[in-house]
Structure 1
Amino acid sequence: MSPVGEGGLFLIQFLAGLVIFVLILRFFMRATHVDWRHPIVNFVAKVTNPLCAPLNLALPKPGRWDWSALLTAMIVQALFVVLLGFLTDRSFSVGLIAISSVTEILNQMLDMMFWLIIIQVVLSWVSQGYNPNTAIFYQLAEPILRPFQKVIPPIGGLDLSPIVAIIAIKLTQIIVVGSIAQLGQSLL
């Protein structure tokens, strides 16, 4: 592939990744009940509303789980895989496209959970008291950490649940998502 083709492929991959990132962020924001008056949350909602609108007509009204955002992310990923096949002169089966989409979305969701925990931990060290700009990270990370905090109580005032949560997230990526991806590789 020529450098121009590689540059175009990079640009398409970047744009698809950005759209998918914002859609997954919308899914997490709705799932964790963040404050919708926050400017970042408001921005994400306004940017993703046109993308999710067609599926919102077909799917039940979103409650806590915004399935239209997740399904739209999968559709964008599937279109990217189809476009990638077209640009590289390869054809992919429908099964491979579906598995690729599912594994990529799961990986991005788990990566987002990982980074939300890391950001929340760092902010807990440097930001004392309530700050509306950092509160959104606590609101997003708290439901992820809550099950681990129930099992692992603070030891000497130190909360070790983020470490266990990160290990669980990474193991899920390696074992579960890796197994699904391996299934997809067998379809090549």
Structure 2
Amino acid sequence: MELTSPVGQGGLFLMQTLVGLVIFALMLRFLMRATYADWNNPIVQFIAKVTNPICAPLNKVVAAKGRWDWSALSTAVIIQAIFVILIGYLTSRSFGVPFIVLASTTEIVNQLLDMMFWLIIIQAVLSWVSPGYNPNTIIFNQLTQPILDPFRRLIPPISGMDLSPIFAILAIKLFQIVVVGSITQIAQQMIG
């Protein structure tokens, strides 16, 4: 299957989508554990049940400690590394171990930062549309509160407006552009 053919493009799209969904679920599991999300929430239970079989092998080696689910993070990096190797195979390129490690790690960090970005956006919109306590939106507050709290300490609300989401989003995007972008550029130089 040649990647330039429509069938090849379709196969690549399908692989990217499946890998993306699995990594999304693993990163969400990691964030839910890191932010102490309510494990009685149906969304949290769903993510836990879907990712438990994927994380089970690494749970024996890298068990979750406190708020950090290292097995979810490690599994995501391993899956991404396998995907990078597979892309190399399909494009008849040989990637070295340093490139595979850098490319996989930066992609996972990038996806985690993108997830944080969108969670903050969703939480901000929900706070305007449905202010106050709402059991359906509480999960977004739980996931974003640890991210927003440092910004809230630096920038208190002005006339009742919480500006911390704006500054958190700016910090996330700036980190992606400067730090993750620089590492990605280094990785790209490894393949010529």
Tell me which interval the TM-score lies in, with the shorter structure as reference length. over 0.9
Contact 1:56 1:62 in 2 (8 A): no
Give the CA deviation at 1:129: 2.7
Contact 1:116 1:140 in 2 (8 A): yes
Residue 93 (structure 2) pairs with residue 84 (structure 1): no
Partner-residue secondary structure (3-state), 2:136: helix
Q: Deviations over 1:134-168 (max 9, x none)?
A: 11001101110000000001111111111111110
Aligned twin of 1:110: 113
Instruction: Give the percent of matched residue pairs that are identical in Structure 1 and Structure 2.
Output: 68
Structure 1 unaligned segments of length 5 or more: list them.
Answer: none
Give the CA deviation at 1:89: 1.5
Aligned twin of 1:147: 150
The number of residues matched between the two structures is 188
Residue 182 (structure 2) pairs with residue 186 (structure 1): no
C-alpha distance in 2 between matches for 1:63 and 1:155: 35
Structure 2 unaligned segments of length 5 or more: list them.
Answer: none
Contact 2:58 2:75 in 1 (8 A): yes
Give the CA deviation at 1:62: 3.2
Aligned twin of 1:32: 35
2:68 to 65, 68, 76: 65
Find runs of 4+ consecutive structure 1 residues off by over 3 angstroms. Answer: none
1:169 to 168, 172, 188: 172
Larger CA deviation: 62-71 vs 168-177 = 62-71
2:128 to 114, 125, 128: 125
Q: Deviations over 1:36-67 (max 9, x none)?
A: 11111001001101111111101144320001
Give the CA deviation at 1:128: 2.8
Partner-residue secondary structure (3-state), 2:159: coil
C-alpha distance in 1 between matches for 2:132 and 2:62: 40
C-alpha distance in 2 between matches for 1:120 and 1:134: 8
CA RMSD of aligned residues (A): 0.9
